[in-house]
Amino acid sequence: MAIILGIESSCDESAAALIGSDRTVLAHRLAGQEDAHKPYGGVVPEIAARAHVQVLTPLIDAALMDAGLGLDDVDAIAATAGPGLIGGVMVGLVTAMAAGKPLIAVNHLEGHALSPRLADAALEFPYMLLLVSGGHCQILRVDGVGQYRRLATTIDDAAGEAFDKTAKILGLGYPGGPRVEALAKTGNSKAVPLPRPLLGSAEPHFSFAGLKSAVLRAAQSGAHRPEDIAAAFQQAVVDCVVDRLEKALAASDGTGGKPKTLVVAGGVAANGAIRSALEALAARHDMGFVAPPLWLCTDNAAMIGWAGAERFALGLTDPLDMPARPRWPLDPEAEAARGAGVKA
């Protein structure tokens, strides 16, 4: 069995994990930076990078101690090399390089995309993936390690961004996703009419900027209870996600066959309403459904270690002059979505 040390530092979570190639999570440690960024109302890149410098090495030591291992037992180190905030990515990558072990430069999105295979040994390629996080909202066909075809992306905001902005509008704080979900449980989604951007459109792309503006107007009108706005917003996201996936599945019928499994990954995959709707969608299409456990959905180092283990097994290590990359698409061939970059 190979043992991989995973390091994550692309945003506001510092994390270290030790993963066995047989899918054992030997240790995983996480240090959030919420308090450091709170006074500024969002993640400040310089503060994030400095925090990673302070905590990464102690976190790695703690993970090794949890697993009862020394650095000598580690076969390779997998570090997020992008996409993300460049300062933090550099800190993680340099920390990995300094250890003098084989290096695996992991795309953070590939970490999310392969995380369901860490949780479920039976999940085989190809699968249809909804990748929904704070920075990304994509539908991908996953044909193998490093083999991704992007079928859809967002033309403005990511789904997690929409949750975070809705939370801000409702005064719930950051990170917004879990707080909006909790509030939505007590609300009536039918009490507030909200739009479903791009619903029914031919290409399976996403758009959430118009929904966010509608949430702002509903909140400012003073006519609605916050829990009803939260519930209506979440239902609108669910409806959009289901409709867009229906389109992607219909389109994939003609191109190499429909994958047998529907998979969701990324921070927003922690959302219970989205999970249930996807499970029902998969059942309607006679597909299996896989969603990683909640702790593996939001940013962590276990998914980076696992992506590293998958790559290491294929002999895919990287040179020490590997650059940190602020942008790094999973499917470099994918064209920009029409209307992309236009924010409402």
Residues 92 and 80: beta-carbon distance below 8 Å = yes
Question: 12 or 318: whose CB is closer to ligand KG4?
Answer: 12
Backbone angles phi, psi at 276, to 5 degrees: -65, -40
Determine which helix (DSSP H) or strand (DSSP E) holds 111, and give its type and residue range.
helix 108-119
Q: Which one of residues 156, 164, 228, 243 is an interface residue with ligand KG4 (CB under 6 A)?
A: 164
Q: Write out the E strands in 87-186.
A: 103-107, 127-132, 137-144, 147-152
Which of positions 223-262 make contact with ligand KG4 (CB under 6 A)? none
Which one of the spans 31-39, 55-63, 181-189, 293-301 is the region binding Zn ion (CB under 5 A)? Answer: 293-301
Q: Is 181 or 318 the residue whose CB approaches ligand KG4 more closely?
A: 181
User: Which residue, 128 or 241, is less far from ligand KG4 as judged by CB?
Assistant: 241
Instruction: Return the number of the residue (2 or 44) whose C-beta is nearest ligand KG4.
Output: 44
Taking CB within 5 to 8 Å according to partner kind, which of Zn ion, ligand KG4, none is near residue 102? none
- What tokens appear for 275 in the block? 């999970």
Q: Please, what is the minimum distance in Å from the beta carbon of residue 176 to ligand KG4? A: 5
Instruction: State the Cα–Cα distance between residues 225 and 222, nearest whole angstrom.
Output: 8
The owner of tokens 């009803």 is 228
Q: What is the DSSP string of 166-180?
A: HHHHTT--SSHHHHH
How does DSSP assign 15-41, residue by residue? Answer: EEEEEETTS-EEEEEEEE-HHHHGGGT
Which residue has tokens 């709170």? 38
Q: Please, what is the minimum distance in Å from the beta carbon of residue 135 to ligand KG4?
A: 4
Shortest Å, Cβ 160 to Zn ion: 9
| Among 181, 243, 310, 318, contact with ligand KG4 (rule: CB under 6 A) | 181
Which residue is listed with tokens 């996936």?
245
Q: What is the DSSP pairing of strand 127-132 with strand 103-107? A: unpaired
Chosen residue from 157, 299, 310, 318 binding Zn ion by CB under 5 A: 299
Q: Is 270 in the site for ligand KG4 (CB under 6 A)?
A: yes
Find the radius of gyration of the CA atoms of the chain. Answer: 20
Q: Interface with ligand KG4 by CB under 6 A: which range of 71-79, 86-94, 95-103, 160-168?
A: 160-168
**Which amino acid, residue 254?**
G
307 vs 72: CA distance, rounded Å:
21
Q: Which of 87, 92, 116, 176 binds ligand KG4 (CB under 6 A)?
A: 176
Q: How many CA atoms lie within 13 A of 2 on its CB side?
A: 21
Nearest to 207 by CA among 186, 175, 234, 237: 237
- Count of residues near ligand KG4 by CB under 6 A: 19
Residue closer to ligand KG4, measured from CB, 171 or 254: 171
* Under 8 Å between Cβ of 267 and 298: yes
Residue 267 interacts with ligand KG4 (CB under 6 A): yes or no: yes
Cα→Cα distances 251→103, 168, 236, 276, Å: 38, 36, 23, 23
Q: Which of 134, 204, 259, 305 binds ligand KG4 (CB under 6 A)?
A: 134
Binders of Zn ion among residues 105 to 144 (CB under 5 A) are: 133
From 75-83, 132-140, 145-153, 201-209, give the range in contact with ligand KG4 by CB under 6 A.
132-140
Residue span binding Zn ion (CB under 5 A) among the ranges 87-95, 144-152, 211-219, 298-306:
298-306
Shortest Å distance, C-beta 109 to ligand KG4: 8
Interface residues toward Zn ion, by CB under 5 A: 133, 299
Binding site for ligand KG4 (CB under 6 A): 11, 133-135, 160, 163-164, 175-178, 181, 266-268, 270-271, 298-299
